[in-house]
Amino acid sequence: MTPDNSSRQRANIRPGMTVDIIQKSDQRSGKLTRGTVQEILTGSVSHPHGIKVRLSDGRVGRVAAIISPGPHPGDSSGA
């Protein structure tokens, strides 16, 4: 599976988002792993194969798709 355009831009990925990643060991099969972004590992603004992230469970891979946006900076619950 090829990452969609939004998953190739670092600015579109934030901790707390639910994403599908492709782990290095799954690149040939294209198997997706779903999880919550804990940390963004890619330092550049974009990457042709997707932004590399660490999920909350410790797994690392490149974002193939953004599933849900998660919390936005500055949002407050109860507003």
Q: Do residues 17 and 36 touch, judged by C-beta distance below 8 A?
A: yes
Name the nearest CA neighbour of 50 among 72, 18, 23, 17. 23
pLDDT digits (tens, 9 = 90+) for 25-48: 999 999 999 999 999 999 999 999
Q: pLDDT-derived band of residue 79, with 50, 70 and 90 as boundaries?
A: very low
pTM exceeds 0.95, yes or no? no
Place of tokens 């990643």: 21
Q: pLDDT-derived band of residue 78, with 50, 70 and 90 as boundaries?
A: very low
pLDDT value for 52: 97
Tokens of 39: 């940390």
Q: How many CB atoms within 10 Å of residue 18?
A: 15
pLDDT value for 61: 98
Which residues, including other chains, have CB under 8 Å from residue 25's CB and lie 6 or more apart? none
Tokens of 64: 């193939």
Cα(55)–Cα(75) distance, integer angstroms? 22
pLDDT digits (tens, 9 = 90+) for 3-19: 677 889 999 999 999 99
